[in-house]
Chains A and B, each alone.
Chain A
Amino acid sequence: MSSAGQQRFTGTTVIGTARLIAAKDLRVELRSRVLLNQVLPFALIVMVMFAFALDSDAVLERVAPGLVWLAALFSALIMVSRSFAVETADGALDQLRSAGVPAMGIFIGKMMALMAQLVVLVTLLIIAAVVLYRAELSWAGSVLLVTTGLTATCGLAAVGTLYGGLAAGAKGRETLLPLLLLPVVAPVLIGATRATESAFGTRGVSTSQGWPWLGLLAVFAVLFSVSGAVAFGPLLDD
């Protein structure tokens, strides 16, 4: 009886913590407007620079899905850095831990906040692709695209939070994070790009061909969410 009660107790605190942390992160974001004033403009200028570099409408149309996700990855790196800079600036993470706040709750909360920001980012990037690169979207394609976006951002948020926490508080974090993170998210880049290609109908790929790639994205998201939730505690402990 007591063990079941205890389990339910920890369950609610994990979810409760997650909700509090996510709300706190998003509130910090809304007030500071770093996402709105810095990260989103950065992502947009990357998309414009791609157009300068590739210098051909046909090529741009063909590679638009890849560019969307590449720009998303680069911007995500900044977001992850920022998400933990907020946390370690005043030793807030250490204080949360020493106050006995469950690590799993912190992980889920930060992951949710990061995912919400990534969804905003990816939506903007897709609109940019439609406007700047002449990508075309059908109804069936939109359904695939929304599912892809959610699954991919979930995976990205999970790895981002996990590796961000790993490097948190160390000197030289800003330069280390891309080195750690980019190799890990290669499957997301591959899967999300292929799925987006079929959503846009690039190179005559049909929408139905995109769904299998969602499997890869889903496996990635599940694997890293679970391992992140488990490993986050040992990572933060001393």
Chain B
Amino acid sequence: MSNDRVTSTPFTKGLGFFVLLGIALLIILGIFVSPADVNQGESVRIMYAHVPGAWLAYLAFVMTAVSSAAYLWKRTRSLTWDRIAGASAEVGVLFMGISLVTGSLWGRLTWGTYWTWDARLTTTAFLFVTYIGYLAVRGLGGTHQQRARRSAVLALLAVLEIPLVHFSVELWNTLHQEASVAGRGTDVEMNGLMLFTLFLGVVVFTLMYVWLVLHRQRSLMLEDMLEDSGLDSALSERRAEATQAGR
């Protein structure tokens, strides 16, 4: 009975219900109801999954940076901020990966190629790898405080790194000016229903982000507690052994 309520509360249950409803509505509107685009044709339907996913990934990374700063600032220092940063980065990496896949599928249909070296795409790939590294650093071990401090500094360094990478890739790219990718025309002319579907996607994905981060943050807390209690019991065992040996 209590098993069902490990990390969920009435709030997350309600939220989860709305998210599932929203996803169903998004699929119906995105694949069946909304019209094909004048330029892109049917392939525009990928947009309703891709754009909200990319939005969510960026949102997650901003949240990671903000909570890392909150951890490093002495007045708000709390491991909760660290866990929010970690949960958010994990969700961000997931959605960055997803939107890289959906983006290249979409690019194949509209530009005729899976990948182009423009600054936005390249920076996105760098973001993906950088936060995979961030997650690896979180898994390095040590005390919770050590992990929190290390990863918070790293998250803030990423904030420094990403604009630099974007800027330098942009410079690199303007030098090249290779033949622009041929395609069916990439402009999307949005009508009301298309805009609404896209907007719905962004809202649903944002709610999904909240649900995922809440649950992940709580499960991280459980794991931290488990580690602490494991340490505690190991320590008390050692102490018991020591006193036994002393006698």
- Across the A-B interface, give the 8 residue pairs with the lowest CB-CB distance, nearest first: A187-B168, A170-B140, A180-B133, A190-B168, A179-B133, A190-B172, A187-B164, A183-B129
| CB-CB nearest in chain A for B151 | A166
Of B136, B142, B149, B169, which is within 8 A of A237 by CB? B149
* B50-100 interface (Cβ within 8 A of A): 72
**B133 partner residues in chain A, CB cutoff 8 A:** 176, 179-180, 183
B160 to A171, Cβ gap below 8 A? no
Given contacts A170-B141, A170-B142, A194-B175, contact A179 B136 (CB under 8 A): yes
A234 to B72, Cβ gap below 8 A? yes
B149 to A184, Cβ gap below 8 A? no
- A128 touches B (CB below 8 Å): no
Of A180, A223, A234, which is within 8 A of B149 by CB? A234
**B146 partner residues in chain A, CB cutoff 8 A:** 238
Least CB distance from A111 to B in Å reads 15
Least CB distance from A64 to B in Å reads 17
**A184 partner residues in chain B, CB cutoff 8 A:** 130, 157, 161
- B137 touches A (CB below 8 Å): yes
**A182 partner residues in chain B, CB cutoff 8 A:** 129
- A40 touches B (CB below 8 Å): no
- A44 touches B (CB below 8 Å): no
**A238 partner residues in chain B, CB cutoff 8 A:** 143, 145-146
**B161 partner residues in chain A, CB cutoff 8 A:** 183-184
Residues of B participating in the A interface, judged by any CB pair closer than 8 Å: 72, 126, 129-130, 132-133, 136-137, 140-143, 145-146, 149-150, 153-154, 156-157, 160-161, 164-165, 167-169, 171-172, 175
Sampled A-B contacts (29; CB under 8 Å): A170-B142, A171-B140, A176-B136, A176-B140, A179-B129, A179-B132, A180-B133, A180-B136, A180-B137, A183-B129, A183-B130, A183-B133, A183-B161, A184-B157, A186-B126, A186-B165, A190-B168, A190-B171, A190-B172, A194-B172, A194-B175, A216-B171, A224-B160, A227-B157, A231-B153, A234-B153, A235-B149, A235-B150, A238-B143
B137 to A183, Cβ gap below 8 A? no
- A167 touches B (CB below 8 Å): yes
* A108-134 interface (Cβ within 8 A of B): none
A-B contact count (CB 8 A): 74
Residues of A participating in the B interface, judged by any CB pair closer than 8 Å: 162, 166-167, 170-172, 176, 179-180, 182-184, 186-187, 190-191, 194, 213, 216, 219-220, 223-224, 227, 231, 234-235, 237-238
- Since A180-B136, A213-B171 are in contact, a sample of 19 more A-B pairs with Cβ atoms closer than 8 Å, ordered by chain A residue number, is A166-B137, A170-B140, A170-B141, A172-B140, A180-B133, A182-B129, A183-B126, A184-B157, A186-B168, A187-B167, A187-B168, A190-B168, A216-B171, A219-B164, A223-B164, A227-B157, A231-B156, A235-B150, A238-B145
